[in-house]
Amino acid sequence: MPLAESPQWRQKATNFFSSSSFKLKQAGQSAGDNIADVAGKVGSVVKSRWAVFQESRQRQPPPGETVQERFISAAATTGVLLRKGISETKEKVAVGKVKVEEAAKKTADKSKTILNNIERWQKGVASTDVFGVPIEATVQREQSGKAVPLVLVRCADYLVISGLSNEYLFKSEGEKKVLQQLVSLYNEDSGSSLPDGVNPIDVAALIKCYLASIPEPLTTFSLYDELRDARVSIADLRNILKKLPNVNYMTLEFVTALLLRVSRKSSLNKMDSRSLAVEFAPLIMWQQGDSGTDLRNHLRFTLKAPPKIVDTTSNTTEWDLLDEDDVDASSQIPLDDASPPDYSSIEVIQSLIEHHNAIFTDANETVWR
């Protein structure tokens, strides 16, 4: 299911591309009237490509062409045209060309960043990221032979070997800085191994962060009501889960197999199946249109890098800061802010843990050596 681009980024992109022509022309005029026309032409390229990009997003693709291919093509063509515009500027401008070249290069760099981000939100095919990307896109790109994202495989293997006895595993939050470093590691190379000596609490928290980041829950939006209604019936749960896409089904089996292993050591880690279900239900099962439970929003906030420090003494403008994250530290959502728990979803996940082997009969239960 394609991702819709972020409304905040879409507005930033529209504002940026709409003003690019003016910015470039203004730079040309400040350098000399004889090069204003050249600068204007480069700016016009940017505006026209943004218009084409928006049109291609709304148009139905011809047979054999996917939405993602149109977006990637639009981004690539934009880069070529911008480079051509900069090259022509270098050839034709004799006076004040440095100012125009800088403005044109800045435009090209910013447009590339924006287009890359929109492509990533659409499907994730143009990015190496695994966090925030649809799970089926990640598995398809990794081509590991497993129907489970490698980041989950690496984390689960690590915990089974060294971390199942840690107290309050999957309940303790983990260290934010470490989590951000691990997210960066797996976004750059999803097949990476975990660093030596990493705390199992941080590894467990990384699993939760991953599940919180994907745009659709493992149980999918379409099966939400069916699963809630079937929460007390093992047979019904088994039959409903067979409707899931294979990647979702196998990943759900993998995660709940791990939670079953954790629950069997509850005398040591103090996390029985009910406690684990409370932690994972908001990350595995939620309704379409749900703006996010406190836990899911909190984990998403954890993944954000700290805001960059802006030097207010410089001549930096809003145009220069277009691709900043605009993170507001006050936006963190406390976990004790009382949105009511979805008890039906908790019961579903608890059943999947406690009756894992009876429900996932044809999945060849995940076994760790």
Asked which of 121-135, 295-309, 323-337 is least confident by mean pLDDT, the reply is 323-337
What is the structure's pLDDT at 306? 45
Q: Is residue 335 part of a domain?
A: no
| Among the ranges given (119-128, 269-278, 347-356), the one the predictor scored with the smallest mean pLDDT | 119-128
In a domain, 5, yes or no: no
pLDDT bracket for residue 233 (50, 70, 90): very high
Give the domain CATH number at 258. 1.10.555.10
Across the chain, the runs of DSSP E, i.e. the strands, are none
Report residue 341's pLDDT band, with 50, 70 and 90 as the boundaries.
confident
Could you tell me the sign of the dihedral formed by the alpha carbons of 55, 61, 66, 69, in that order?
negative
pLDDT at 309 over 70: no
Q: What is the pLDDT of residue 348?
A: 96
| Buried/exposed code over 261-281 (b: 16+ C-beta within 10 A; e: otherwise) | bbbeeeeebebbbbbbbbbbb
What are the pLDDT digits (tens) for 245-260? 999 999 999 999 999 9
Residue 310's pLDDT band (cuts 50, 70, 90) = very low
Q: pLDDT exceeding 90 applies to what percent of the chain?
A: 44
pLDDT tens-digit series, residues 63-110: 555 555 555 555 556 556 556 655 655 555 554 556 666 767 766 666
99 part of a folded domain: no
Say whether pLDDT at 146 is over 80: yes
Confidence of residue 218 (pLDDT cuts 50, 70, 90): very high
| 3-state SS assignment for residue 330 | helix
What is the per-residue pLDDT for 124?
A: 43
Check: pTM over 0.75? Answer yes or no. Answer: no
Average pLDDT of the segment spanning 229-246: 95
Picking from 360, 330, 353, the residue whose alpha carbon sits closest to that of residue 272 is: 353
Domain membership of residue 121 (yes or no) is: no
Total of domains in the chain: 1
- Domain with 245 in it: 135-307+342-360
95 within domain boundaries: no
Q: Is residue 207 part of a domain?
A: yes
**188, burial (CB in 10 Å: exposed 0-12, middle 13-18, buried 19+):** exposed
The verdict on residue 210 lying in a domain is yes
What's the token pair of residue 1?
Answer: 């299911």
**Is 120 or 98 the better-scoring residue by pLDDT?**
98
Half-sphere exposure (CA, 13 Å, Cβ side) for 163?
21
pLDDT band for 150, please (50, 70, 90 cuts).
Answer: very high
Identify whether 41 is part of a domain: no
pLDDT at residue 56, rounded to an integer: 55
Higher per-residue pLDDT: 125 or 222: 222
pLDDT in tens, 33-71: 555 565 566 566 656 666 665 665 555 555 555 555 555
